[in-house]
Amino acid sequence: MSLEERVTTEENRPLLRVVRGNPDAAELAALTVVVAAAANTPAEPPTATPSAWADRSALARRPLTPGPGAWRASGFPR
């Protein structure tokens, strides 16, 4: 079989083939939707943003600012 014949037969090959049973049009449509949805899934999952609990910068103390009410503001996070 030459390369040209192989290319033409691969292009004419159906994407889905029913091996057993006799599905109706609604069942074939449902199968097509499932296969198309599976093909459109992203290759890698999106990266999750880190939790605020895991934020190590919250452990560092912020610089103190002198002035009226500074003692009160030092106890409350911004």
Indicate yes or no: pTM above 0.75. Answer: no
Q: Which amino acid is at 24?
A: D
- The radius of gyration computed from the CA coordinates of the chain, to the nearest angstrom, equals 31
Residue boundaries of the structural domains of the chain? 1-30
What per-residue confidence (pLDDT) applies to 30?
A: 92
Taking Cα atoms as reference points, which of 55, 13, 14 lies closest to residue 35?
A: 14
**pLDDT by 10s per residue, the chain, length 78:** 565 665 556 667 777 788 888 999 999 999 889 888 887 767 777 778 878 788 887 778 777 677 887 777 777 765
Contacts of 23 (CB under 8 A, 6+ apart): 31
